[in-house]
Amino acid sequence: MTARFKVRPEEQAECEAAIHEFIEYIRLNEPGTRFYTSLRNSEDPLEYLHTFLFNDEAARDAHRTSEGVKRFTDRLYPRLEGGVTFTSYDEVATT
């Protein structure tokens, strides 16, 4: 899956702090999340792309309903320009 969003300029530092804390939460609490990465657009540093992959549907559901996601979205969403665009993909190959 991917999640693409853009933050308001005055909120960038707070959003990046929230991203770091969220990814640490995932690392410590979600063994079914195979990877979760946050990327910042080189040409538009207010735009972010998160890519993540789950071991299975149960892991995806556990992630989606976790306390960590709730804390992250409560902190992040009010600081965005617009919303988040989620896109689902099917895995073809991974290293």
- Tell me the per-residue pLDDT of 53-85, one tens digit each, with 9 for 90 and over: 999 999 999 999 999 999 999 999 999 999 999
Contact 4, 49 (CB under 8 A): yes
Element housing 9 (H / E): none
Contact 81, 69 (CB under 8 A): no
Question: Could you give the percent of the chain with pLDDT greater than 90?
Answer: 96
C-alpha–C-alpha distance, residues 19 and 44, integer Å: 17
Q: Is the pLDDT at 30 greater than 90, yes or no?
A: yes
C-alpha–C-alpha distance, residues 31 and 16, integer Å: 23
Q: Which pLDDT score is estimated for 20?
A: 98
C-alpha–C-alpha distance, residues 11 and 29, integer Å: 27
